[in-house]
């Protein structure tokens, strides 16, 4: 067990959650008393540009899962661990509760809690041979209708293989972290967060034979918007970045070169979080 040294910490507080106002100041004082420089970044918008000072050792994220997704997007190429503290009910990503923040920081300094390296997706939109959009996500990328008519027509390729044509309300490409989000609601499987894999999940497919598919994290997925759509089509990443798509656009999805580094809880692991969130209690029956 190796101790960790902190020199500079960035506290990212979701200012829409009033609990973050006082707690961010409390944590900043706690760190400063230990000669650790602390900066508070107050965010109210999902697309607010995040400024990270050089030499930042750790980011403490105060909010919920959405705040973690925001942090992961801006930190994905910086290699800075994220210690996420949930200010409400437990999220799937935020394992540390609001009354455990001091213990979590102490455990981090003592090297007791580990860092989970989470696969992220890199998304690009190619239009007439040119890249017109690029973005990163920790949970998922979604292509859906933006109009009244919900059904859209897509072509899917995995690597060099044409994997089929989809007539559906949409298509989700999710990471293991995102397997408990929109993909799960659409009937996709739950994956262990440490796997290197992607989930292809159709949303309300017109053909019942179209089922969720788990593929290698090394796979390159291509989605083509077929001609003659009867509705507008939107790309969404983690529910925070959106981009309007056109007929014949090609969306390329692959794993990012870097990963989100999430500090784990010493009190509960991923399986325990899933068990409690999904109420896997056996209806009150215990061995």
If you ran DSSP here, which 8-state letter would residue 239 be given?
T
CA atoms of 258 and 39, how far apart (whole Å):
25
Residues with catalytic roles? 65
Bridging pattern class, strands 8-14 and 37-43: parallel
What the block records as the tokens of 231 is 């509705």
CA atoms of 6 and 237, how far apart (whole Å):
32
Centre a 10 Å sphere on the Cβ of residue 159 and count the other Cβ atoms it contains.
Answer: 13
If you ran DSSP here, which 8-state letter would residue 225 be given?
E
Backbone angles phi, psi at 278, to 5 degrees: -95, 0
Q: How far apart are the first and last CA of the chain?
A: 35
What the block records as the tokens of 9 is 């910490």
Query: Residues near 265 by Cβ (< 8 Å), separated by ≥ 6?
Result: 95, 96, 100, 104, 113
CA atoms of 175 and 114, how far apart (whole Å):
20
> Which strand (E) or helix (H) includes residue 271?
helix 270-277
Three-state secondary-structure class, residue 26: helix
């Amino acid at each position: 067990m190796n101790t960790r040294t902190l020199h500079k910490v960035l506290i990212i507080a979701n200012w829409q959650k009033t609990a973050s106002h006082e707690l961010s100041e409390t944590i900043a004082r706690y760190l400063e008393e230990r000669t650790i420089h602390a900066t508070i970044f107050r965010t109210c918008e999902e697309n607010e540009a995040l400024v990270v000072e050089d030499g930042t050792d750790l980011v403490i994220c105060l909010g919920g899962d959405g705040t973690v997704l925001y942090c992961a997007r801006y930190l994905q190429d910086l290699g800075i661990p994220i210690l996420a503290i949930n200010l409400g009910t437990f999220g799937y990503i935020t394992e540390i509760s609001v009354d455990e923040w001091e213990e979590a920081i102490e455990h981090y300094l003592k090297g007791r809690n580990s860092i989970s390296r989470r696969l992220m997706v890199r998304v690009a939109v190619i239009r007439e041979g040119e890249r017109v959009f690029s973005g990163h996500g920790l949970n998922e990328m979604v292509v859906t209708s933006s109009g009244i008519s919900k059904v859209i027509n897509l072509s899917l390729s995995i690597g060099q293989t044409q994997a089929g044509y989809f007539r559906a309300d949409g298509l989700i490409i999710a990471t293991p972290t995102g397997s408990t989000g929109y993909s799960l609601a659409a009937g996709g499987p739950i994956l262990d967060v440490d796997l290197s894999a992607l989930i292809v999940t159709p949303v309300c497919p017109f053909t019942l034979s179209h089922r969720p598919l788990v593929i290698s994290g090394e796979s390159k997925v291509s989605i083509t918007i077929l001609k003659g759509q009867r509705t507008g089509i939107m790309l969404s990443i983690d529910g925070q970045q959106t981009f309007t798509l056109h007929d014949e656009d090609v969306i390329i999805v692959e794993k990012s070169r870097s990963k989100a580094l999430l500090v784990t809880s010493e009190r509960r692991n991923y399986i325990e979080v899933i068990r409690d969130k999904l109420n896997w209690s056996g209806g009150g029956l215990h061995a």
